[in-house]
Structure 1
């Protein structure tokens, strides 16, 4: 997860809408060289823009944190707790997670603050395989992902977590996920903006209803579909 930088947002915490963004673009592409802080203020998915405009937008990772420095973990003692509305609450070591059926994918990453990274290679486990080990009860409707970064969490419905490219990832671009990117495991949800992709995941709790996560409580959309949320819709 690369979380939105809250400072550049407009009052009320919500990102600048698509129409406002396109209005800014209409003032001239020269405005896109304002600098990093101003560029991050341009909120929305780059993929809704014409290729000529998208090519002028920033690309490459920007790592944000709400409580720096980034969390650390000890491989010898780290565990992932999976609990809540399950028949068999369990603590997974990293080796136990890696022993579950492995999934690999290549997908694009979109931050709601206007930048993207194409063709990120992820390796990890699908939620259907993770949840099969704990047995969700009939009352379970959502998953709460709690980060080792204090106060950060977000949620997905069970249906959202079951989409083909959602995963709990422990590898990125052919190597173990690094500390800035959420080591040892992070949520990957390519069809949603990056603030849903909780990094440094230390607990997954199954609950009976979905609630607002950290950034939703500050004005971002709960269902963060790329191009279909946060004041943006597909097409021009």
Structure 2
């Protein structure tokens, strides 16, 4: 596995308590099996019932990374590998013109950079992450979304992982498809070559290893939302759109 960023996470006291409660609740219920190898936490199985005392319901547990830093999760290991020569990003569905982008074409789109914090719902965070990528308005421009397209369905190369954002959510000022992190190309554990970044939402909405964006007319539950997660996990209710 690629070396992970060893920046130490910052947690809020209430988040630490929440993360422990989620972990103990899930393990006590026997709902999820945890497999740890090469610093990656894999999750096997699904919640047998909602965890109503946690944020949000049904969330899985996190284990500390050695020496601090990010926790890396997979649902279907091993993590996908990225080959710049063959990788393609498809944008289709309710569009006037389906688009297939090479990696070079993705990098040629209007580039933006931002620094934002990353919060995991299980109780840890990493502050000041530097992301490089493209805003969704610029990414979708060539495909020309149809008026009835109200949501984006993100399909990961890590099958069967999918998740969705409404069009309004994807257009908030700090949402992006990121291909760079902390001044370097996106590392494999963080979703190379491209991942969703939604700083105002909990981290599980940040689909990694994105290979397709399908425009659709309705929002359906994503992979973890089918297992009890909140569909719209805003960090602060005033940010909700």
TM-score, with length taken from structure 1:
0.75
Please name the residue that 1:89 is paired with: 98
| Larger fraction in strand | 2
Please name the residue that 1:68 is paired with: 77
Which aligned pairs between 1:2-41 and structure 2 lie closer than 5 A? 10=26, 12-14=49-51, 16-17=53-54, 40=62
Of 139, 144, 150, which aligns to 2:153? 144
Q: Distance in 2 between matches of 1:8 and 1:71?
A: 30
Deviation at 1:14, TM superposition (A): 3.8
Segments of 4+ moved more than 6 angstroms: none
Mean CA deviation greater in 100-109 or 8-17: 8-17
Long gaps (5+) in structure 2: 1-18, 30-48
Which aligned pairs between 1:180-219 and structure 2 lie closer than 5 A? 180-219=189-228
Q: Distance in 2 between matches of 1:72 and 1:98?
A: 18
Of 120, 130, 133, which aligns to 2:139? 130
The 8 Å contact of residues 192 and 209 in structure 2, kept in 1 or not, is answered as: yes
Q: Structure 1 pair 83/39, CA: closer, same or farther in 2 (3 Å)?
A: closer
Please name the residue that 1:162 is paired with: 171
Please name the residue that 1:172 is paired with: 181
Q: Distance in 2 between matches of 1:14 and 1:219?
A: 8
Q: Structure 1 pair 39/164, CA: closer, same or farther in 2 (3 Å)?
A: same
SS at match of 1:97: helix
Q: Distance in 1 between matches of 2:25 and 2:160?
A: 20
Please name the residue that 2:128 is paired with: 119
Deviation at 1:60, TM superposition (A): 2.6
How many equivalent residue pairs? Answer: 190
Please name the residue that 2:113 is paired with: 104
Q: Distance in 2 between matches of 1:129 and 1:224?
A: 25
Deviation at 1:133, TM superposition (A): 1.2
Deviation at 1:227, TM superposition (A): 4.5
Q: Distance in 2 between matches of 1:109 and 1:15?
A: 24
The 8 Å contact of residues 200 and 234 in structure 2, kept in 1 or not, is answered as: yes
SS at match of 1:203: strand
* Bigger RCO of structures 1 and 2 (CA < 8 A, at least 6 apart): 1
Q: Distance in 2 between matches of 1:166 and 1:122?
A: 11
Q: Structure 1 pair 79/39, CA: closer, same or farther in 2 (3 Å)?
A: closer
Long gaps (5+) in structure 1: 19-37, 42-57, 229-236
Q: Distance in 2 between matches of 1:193 and 1:183?
A: 20
Q: Distance in 2 between matches of 1:7 and 1:17?
A: 10
The CA RMSD over aligned residues, in Å, is 2.4
Please name the residue that 1:45 is paired with: none
